[in-house]
Amino acid sequence: MAESDAAFEEREGSCGGAVIHRKMELPEELAALQRFHGHLGVYVTLGLRMGAIGKRRFGHYKGLKALVEARPEPPMRCVLDGIQFSSGCTMGKGNIALEPASEPAVTFEKEGRRLRIVLKPGWREKIDGEMAKEKEIEQSVFYYEIPESDVFEVHDG
């Protein structure tokens, strides 16, 4: 019950709203993310980018685990759906978990190898300061296209 209430609140609250139909042509992958998550936003898009780094490094999700860190409510929590979308680690398969934290991050682990992805300093503050529901499409496109090395630190270990 609590979970469905939270999902409803997200759709109606600061993170969500109805899916906005605009003439702007979305990249196909972002359009698919929008269908999956219900709307777009900065954090779900950053999650897609983080999951893509993990997928590229480790390949197939078999044997892959993801530990996601985020605030336990949207909008930051939306990073979890983006990571599920692109990494293949999902709640259903039981190979992804969420740990409460103040900054979004993910640690992938496969066959004893680990990869941790965090935002570079200053981005979280910038994102939270600029977030606006009426801009969620353009902000998603921005964070979909920004070079990984501009926004993420990737640590092997």
Residues of the shown chain interacting with Zn ion in the complex, contacts defined by CB under 5 A: 15, 41, 44, 78
For Zn ion, the closer CB: 49 or 110 = 49
Give me the residue whose beta carbon is nearest to Zn ion: 78
Q: For the CB of residue 78, give the shortest distance to Zn ion in the complex, in Å.
A: 3
- 42 within 8 A of 57, measured Cβ to Cβ: no
For Zn ion, the closer CB: 78 or 89 = 78
Tokens representing residue 16 in the block = 């969500």
For Zn ion, the closer CB: 44 or 137 = 44
Q: For the CB of residue 33, give the shortest distance to Zn ion in the complex, in Å.
A: 10
For Zn ion, the closer CB: 41 or 54 = 41
